[in-house]
Amino acid sequence: MNNDRIIIIGAGIAGASTAYFLTRLGIDNIRILEKEKLAGTHSSGLNAAILRTMIPEPFLNRLACESAEFYFNPPIGFSSVPLVDKTGIYLTASKGNEALLQVWCDDNPQTGMKPIPVEGVYKRIPNLTRELGMATWKANDGVMDIHAILQGFMRGAVGAGAEFFADVQFLRLRTQNGCVTGVETSDGFMEACKVVVANGAWASVAETFVGYGLPFTPYRRHLLVTEASPDVNLRQPVVWIAGEEFYFRPESGGLLMCGCDAIAVSPEEGETTDPTQLERIAAKATRWLPRFSDARVVKSWAGMRTFVPDDEFVIGADPRLRGLYWVAGLGGHGVVCAPLIGRIAADWIASGGSEHAAASAFLPERLI
């Protein structure tokens, strides 16, 4: 048996960042398995690419802020292009929902986000309907280069000795005497002493984990991009309207929009678009951006965000089975928090613990 091999299931942002930080700890006997032909095909490549460090939950907020520092100042050789375009973000609330946004600010004072006059938002976004009740601003947030981030993690991991196996599907765990012995795959059995579940929505397929599943639920969310318009300032900030659950940012000369739908789905149906949800986005755009009410949609898609009941991440060792680790349930924050997610996961896998203050809140044992 291969007594030191680590197999990571999934080459999205969770698996890639975990592999990257494991190699930084000197571990190189790693196999990253990906059922698609390319890394990051599903949730990692289908999100809105927004760096929003202002997250209501304090632990996740902390990870987002710390991860942003990695993106602003990545290690030498990680990427040849900037990882974040710091367009800034207006995190706002519609009239009647000011208390919701105020709680976010009060619970996360370290972000430095404080109320600003809503007139400042209207000045930068003149097409926005005048129905905001509160606004905050963060200059360093903005738009991430998802491809560069994912490739930076993958290139760094593979360059340090990790092996990437594309088009190989994980089928089930193999165990013996309370320990992981490897995984069954579409290419046959692969031995390992440790297996890391980092396959996003597919972590919810409990039967592949021979009785060691956890309560993950994938939720589908739709996005669309409008045709190019002279009304779009390509350098305008991201706008997020809490209470209305609507956000938008420039994309390809038009606007990327999302109505923040959240419908529980199976992984197989999670990327199937629902026309009624696209109509829902259009209705929100009509209210908040009436100049875009008749804009042609040039692209639309759906992606998945996977949660457990308490909405916290799941990172660490499964106490029921020696050698089984989880890096899953990342909701919509996987890319934003990837540097800290990968670092915490690597610490657990390599040494059996993490000194990060948030790490204990993410342990799988709370869900068993």
> Would you tell me the crossing angle of helices 338-351 and 13-24 to the nearest 10 degrees?
50
Q: How many residues does the chain have?
A: 368
Residue 106 has pLDDT above 90, yes or no: no
As a whole number, mean pLDDT of residues 140-146 equals: 96
Check pLDDT > 70 for residue 353: yes
Contact yes or no for 210/179 (Cβ under 8 A)? no
Q: Answer yes or no: is pLDDT of 227 > 60.
A: yes
Average pLDDT, the chain: 95
CA–CA dist 161, 130 (Å, integer) = 55
CB 243 within 8 A of CB 97: yes
Q: For position 165, what pLDDT does the model report?
A: 98
What global pTM score does this model have?
0.96
Strand partners, 185: 170, 188
Tens digit of each residue's pLDDT (9 = 90 or more) over 239-250: 999 999 999 999
Q: pLDDT of 52-98, one tens digit each? A: 998 888 889 899 999 999 999 999 999 999 999 999 999 999 999 99
271 Cβ contact list (under 8 Å, min separation 6): 42, 46, 220, 301, 302, 303, 304
User: Rounded distance, CA 14 to CA 40, Å?
Assistant: 10
pLDDT tier, 120 (very low <50, low <70, confident <90, very high otherwise): very high
Task: Give residue 230's pLDDT.
Answer: 94
Examine the pLDDT at 1 and tell me if it is beyond 80: no
153 phi and psi, to 5 degrees? -65, -45
The SS3 of residue 345 is: helix
Structural domains of the chain in order of their starting residue, each with its CATH number: 6-46+146-216+309-367 (3.50.50.60), 89-138+217-302 (3.30.9.10)
Alpha carbons 144 and 71: distance in angstroms, whole number: 9
Q: What is the mean pLDDT of residues 232-245?
A: 95
pLDDT in tens, 286-332: 999 999 999 999 999 999 999 999 999 999 999 999 999 999 999 99
The one-letter amino acid at 81: V
Residue 2: per-residue pLDDT: 55
Whether residue 136 contacts residue 118, with contact meaning beta carbons closer than 8 Å, is answered with no
Position 22 confidence tier, pLDDT thresholds 50, 70, 90? very high
Among residues 50, 49, 48, 56, the alpha carbon closest in space to that of 113 is found at: 56
